[in-house]
Amino acid sequence: TEAWGPDDDEPRPHHGPVKVRVPAKINLHLGVGPLRPDGYHELNTVYHAISLFDELTARRGDTLTLTMEGEGAGELELDESNLIIRAARALAARGRVPAYARLHLRKSIPLAGGLAGGSADAAATLIACDMLWGLGMSRDELAEVGAELGSDVPFLLHGGTALGTGHGEAVSPILARPTTWHWVVAIADGGLSTPAVYRELDRLRAASPPEPLGGPDELMAAMRQRDPKVLGAALGNDLQPAALALRPQLADVLHAGQEAGAIAGLVSGSGPTCVFLAADANHAQRVAAGLTEAGVCRAAVTARGPQPGARVI
């Protein structure tokens, strides 16, 4: 047995580096309610974390700096507007420590893709800096800080498959026997602005309302059956008509996925990434190859879900 002194539970600053891996998210169900007075829409969503990862490394420093490589390098601003810098500052303020760290991002999740890459990086920053600075905050405390930064941050701290309500920040896990689902992610050229997609939905709804999805019960019941065909039939996204209105070419992507033999396909979150459900890993490879051949997207990659949330590796 190890001899723990009474003070050994106290979190201590870490000498670093601390490396954190964080997944992308898709929404298996995204029900969008009315616009609230605070500018957000009321949501009921089923979040699902998939195996497309960003990696954030935090080292000790005597100021706060951010560098990056990979997806979006040279495009993503690395200044005070960056969600990583904002997350580090918010956590430092909450923990009453100076916001000193050298942060480096290795990015695979596309920018403005509807995969919550920005929220993922904020979640990774909270986990990494909490450890680097020895704050020892609980996931709930980190989620509280994170909810102020982006609607999807609490889910990306959590991971797995979970129900999201409020504006997405209120997360409760879905207790189900673990099943691995196989996905193909069709990454688009260029992003879509999330607020613009929500505004387009409001505009469409004011003109001639598309039928809203309703609650997530059918989706959750479908998941419990562990049959990809049943799950495929239950996938749905209220933002899809708005994303398609802003980016009509996405219809070609969805069509190409169907032609390539996917069980089902839909726009991920606010888009423009489209995701397709496959029966197994081999089927996912074939669907990805079909999408690549159709030339309708920048890249088609396979992924598995669910995955754990942001965690030290």
Binding stretches for ligand C5P (CB under 6 A): 39-41, 43, 150-152, 167-168, 194-195, 198
Q: Shortest approach of ligand C5P to residue 203 CB, angstroms?
A: 13
Contact 262, 276 (CB under 8 A): yes
The annotation status of 134 as a binding-site residue, yes or no, is no
Catalytic residue among 25, 54, 130, 238: 25
Burial 209-223 (b: 16+ CB within 10 A, else e): eeeebeebeebbebb
The annotation status of 256 as a binding-site residue, yes or no, is no
Q: Shortest approach of ligand C5P to residue 259 CB, angstroms?
A: 32
Q: Toward ligand C5P, which CB reaches closer, 50 or 222?
A: 50
CA atoms within 13 A of residue 309's CA, in its CB half-sphere: 27
Helices 139-147 and 83-95 pack at an angle, to 10 degrees, of 130
Catalytic status, residue 25: yes
Catalytic status, residue 107: no
Pair of tokens at residue 197? 């997609």
The annotation status of 150 as a binding-site residue, yes or no, is no
Q: Most distant CA pair in the chain: distance in Å?
A: 69
Catalytic residue among 54, 121, 130, 152: 152
Q: CB neighbours (10 Å) of residue 130? A: 26
Q: Toward ligand C5P, which CB reaches closer, 151 or 292?
A: 151
The annotation status of 159 as a binding-site residue, yes or no, is no
The annotation status of 116 as a binding-site residue, yes or no, is yes
Q: Toward ligand C5P, which CB reaches closer, 85 or 131?
A: 85
Q: Toward ligand C5P, which CB reaches closer, 33 or 61?
A: 33
The annotation status of 117 as a binding-site residue, yes or no, is yes
Q: Shortest approach of ligand C5P to residue 306 CB, angstroms?
A: 21
CB neighbours of 69 closer than 8 A, spacing ≥ 6? 104, 105, 106, 107
Q: Shortest approach of ligand C5P to residue 212 CB, angstroms?
A: 14
Contact 233, 222 (CB under 8 A): yes
Q: Shortest approach of ligand C5P to residue 34 CB, angstroms?
A: 10
Q: Toward ligand C5P, which CB reaches closer, 213 or 263?
A: 213
Q: What is the DSSP string of 131-170?
A: HHTT----HHHHHHHHHTT-TTHHHHHHBSEEEEETTTTE
- Angle at CA of residue 240, ends 39 and 294, nearest 5°: 140
Catalytic residues: 25, 152
Residues annotated in the binding site for ATP, as ranges? 110-120
Residues annotated in the binding site, as ranges? 110-120
